[in-house]
Amino acid sequence: MEIRQVAEAFAVSGQIAPADVAAIKAAGYRSIICNRPDNEEGAVPHEQIEAAAKEAGLAFRYLPAISGQLTQANVDDTAKALGELEGPVFAYCRSGARSTNLYTMAKQQG
């Protein structure tokens, strides 16, 4: 898992495993967002990551978005989550790009 810092309180990576949650917590993150749909090839079902996050005391939000087909609803959901979740926030998808784009668009809309 390669954590890439996008902003002071937001970072991303590609797909994570439940075992990665301990390292995410140790790095200081308080919340995890999953932007990868469960039906995407190679995806770990979000329920597995969510269970590990909750066990570690981290908040979790499942906000699936289709690569290359981000919608205004995806951006709105991300903005809402960023306003509600305790930071810093860690988000993941297949490569980290989708999560980065959603964060950027959510912040641009104010």
pLDDT block averages, 10 residues each, the chain of length 110: 94 97 97 96 95 98 94 96 96 96 91
CB 79 within 8 A of CB 106: yes
Q: Residue 86 burial by CB count (10 A; 0-12/13-18/19+): exposed, middle or buried? A: exposed
Q: Six-digit token pair at 17?
A: 């495993």
State the Cα–Cα distance between residues 51 and 71, nearest whole angstrom. Answer: 27
Q: Which domains does the chain have, with CATH numbers?
A: 4-108 (3.90.190.10)
Q: For position 110, what pLDDT does the model report?
A: 65
